[in-house]
Amino acid sequence: MIIGVPKEDGKVENRSAIVPNDVKRLVRLGASVQVENGLGTKAGFSDQEYLDAGAAVVEDPTAILQSSDIILRIRKPAKDQIPKIKKGSIHVSFLDPFNEKELIEELRANDVTAISMEMIPRTTLAQKMDALSSQANLAGYVMVILACQKLPSIMPMMMTPAGTLKPATVFVIGAGVAGLQAIATAKRLGAKVVAFDTRPVVAEQVHSLGAKFLDIDLGEMAQTKDGYAVELTPDQIALQKAGQKKQIADSDVVITTAQVFGRKPPVLVTKDMVSEMKAGSVIVDMAAESGGNVEGSVAGETIELDGVTIIGDGNWTNFVAKDAS
């Protein structure tokens, strides 16, 4: 069996779909592994490390696509690459299947079995393969660090000869995997943290991290069997906006992580809410790439609106590519 790993588009992706340690494991199991030269450079892995692990380093990405039984990558393939993929092979990556139906159909028509990492269930049995949650965990950490860089004040309370500096207030909307990590990271940095989630069941987890849970009555709420939040009704979204408006105005940092699996995320922070925040405040919109939780956020960009910095970078784990690979 030949496992091939082509290089990602370096303009948008720093991560590598396989690291040298995993190459060693696959080679021990009897697989042949071939990687494109420069595969792990942006993630901190040299070609020599892959060679030492037992992989063949190949210069021609087309040769990898045409000869591999299994292809591993981070992102979906470019459309012009699909005809080059060996028929009967297996392609494993994040595929965004809800929005890339045409691409999925092209893979099927080319007799390629496509495995989308987003669709791995969040169960104990599949936990080690749950790449989506692993990436979300790292994203939660990165969002707090980016907010710290843009915030013109410090996170923790600090006593100085000149007086006492108050801790920053961080409001996290959405207490899923990314949200919980954002809460934990902000607390470790000394911030005062408040969080909200549409699933009251996660309040205990929020409290266990030392944060306050903002209680907003949205009526009866539920979650999917995989632990995802269900889509809110328009009335419930209006209730949430009203309930969190004052907290947003009082916060130095707002981090939004509210996403509905397979759907466009709800807009929860309006321009009116942004205008009421203090000058120098920071908003990080995790959902910017898929539509955004924040009105006015721009995917892949950091902008300023009414004196508030809004970060919508999107590929958060790119900043920690070595650990995210």
Q: Active-site residue among 127, 149, 208, 275? A: 127
Instruction: Confirm if 71 and 91 have CB atoms less than 8 A apart.
Output: yes
Give the DSSP letter of residue 200.
G
Which tokens sit at 139?
């994203």
Please state the φ and ψ torsions of residue 219, each to the nearest 5 degrees. 85, -160
Active site residue 133: yes
Active site residue 285: no
d(CA 258, CA 173): 6
Q: Active-site residue among 15, 89, 130, 281? A: 130
Q: Active-site residue among 122, 134, 223, 250? A: 122
What angle do the packed helices 177-188 and 131-150 form, to 10 degrees? 40
Other beta carbons within 10 Å of 213:
17
Q: Active-site residue among 133, 153, 205, 290? A: 133
Other beta carbons within 10 Å of 62:
12
H helix runs in 189-294, sequence order: 203-208, 234-250, 271-275
Active site residue 228: yes
Residue 56: strand pairing partners: 34
Which tokens sit at 303?
């902008």
Q: Name the pairing type of β-strands 282-285 and 253-256.
A: parallel
d(CA 102, CA 91): 16
Active site residue 127: yes
Q: Active-site residue among 32, 47, 69, 228? A: 228
H helix runs in the chain, sequence order: 20-28, 47-53, 61-67, 101-109, 131-150, 177-188, 203-208, 234-250, 271-275, 321-324
d(CA 294, CA 325): 29
Q: Return left, alpha or beta for 92; rule: phi > 0 is left, psi -120 to 50 is alpha, else beta.
A: beta
Residues tagged active-site = 122, 127, 130, 133, 228
